[in-house]
Every structure is written in C-alpha cells, then in structure tokens.
Amino acid sequence: MRAWDNKIKSGGLGRRFFVEPKRPAVLAERASLRQQSARRPSGGRELNYLLVFIGGGLGSSLRHTVNLISAKLFGTAFPYHTFIINISGSTVMGLIAGYLAFKGEASQSWRLFLMTGILGGYTTFSAFSLDAALLYERGQFGLALLYVLGSVILSLAGLFGGLALVRHFT
C-alpha cells in the first residue's frame, strides 16, 4: 500500500479531497429520488415550466457571452468556446449536484431553475457528464461506458447523417 493510500485511509490530509466510499451511493440514491419526484404531478407545474424557461434563457445568454469573449481572446481556429462551456458547465453541475447530495436540500423548483434551466441552456454536456457519473457511482461501469461511447459516437453519426441528407436533397 502506498503512503498516499495510508494517509487517505487514516483520515489524514488527503481525506478531505476524496469522497468517502458510502457517499457515491448517497448521490445515486438522491438522484433516483429526484427522478421519481420529477415524474409525480405537482400543483406548480406551470411555475416549473416558467422557471425552466427563464433559466434556459439566462443560460443561453451566458453561453452567447462566453462565445463572444472566447472568440475575441483566443480566436476561432479551435472551438475554445465549446471547450470552455462544456468543462465549466460540467464543473458547475458537479458542484450543485454534490452540494445538494451532501450538504443541503433545495426545492424541486430551484433544481429545475438551476440545473435544467440555466445549465441546460448553457450546456447539455453537463447533464451528460452527470448521468455518466451517476451510472459509474452506482457501479454500472459497463453501462456507463456504453452511455459515454454511444452518446459520442451516435451524436457524431447523427450530425454527419443530417449533413449528408441536407447535401443530398439540396
């Protein structure tokens, strides 16, 4: 066993940077409960749609701002804007999901506004990253790998297929 592993297991300095073994199960369990509660009809359904709508507009505006700033700072030879958006959106999704799972609770309305609305308008890659992480945390490694590879490969295939159809019919 390496010294770093001993330090983590003994509760030393390194322990602060790693999640305890039981914590991933808590994250997956709470995500499952959220999915179940999202399926239940609620009295404030119209308000929830409005919150997602407003959050999506804010997230999309933020995405456009990042697009403009990154083009000015870095140029357009590489898709820095998408790169920055995907990484920052996934990071923020992890921060929010981790906070909700380990530290506190937020109402369904807040989760919809922040995660589905703002982050959904900003990037869908954050939701993809969270779903992949939840499958991994549940110990469904094969399914997580299938989800990641399938999403990337089939999304690219869909894009190229759509381009080919448009080229063929125009």
Q: For the residues of 21-62, what is the DSSP string, one character each?
A: TTHHHHHHHHHHHHHHHHHS--TTHHHHHHHHHHHHHHHHHH
Read off the pTM. Answer: 0.62
In sequence order, the 6+-apart residues with CB closer than 8 A to the CB of 48 are 42, 108, 109, 112
Could you tell me the residue ranges of all domains in the chain? 22-130, 140-170
131 CA to centre of own chain = 7
- Mean pLDDT of the region 75-87: 89
Q: How far apart are CA 129 and CA 169, in angstroms?
A: 35
Q: Is 55 helix (H, G, I), strand (E, B) or coil?
A: helix
Question: Whose structure tokens read 């937020």?
Answer: 106
- Residue 33 confidence (pLDDT): 54
- Mean pLDDT of the region 111-137: 90
| Percent of all residues in the chain with a pLDDT value above 70, rounded to a whole number | 75
By C-alpha distance, which of 65, 45, 47, 41 is closest to 121? Answer: 65
Going by pLDDT thresholds of 50, 70 and 90, the confidence category of residue 15 is very low
Are the C-beta atoms of residues 14 and 84 closer than 8 Å to each other?
no
- Is the pLDDT confidence value at 111 over 50? yes
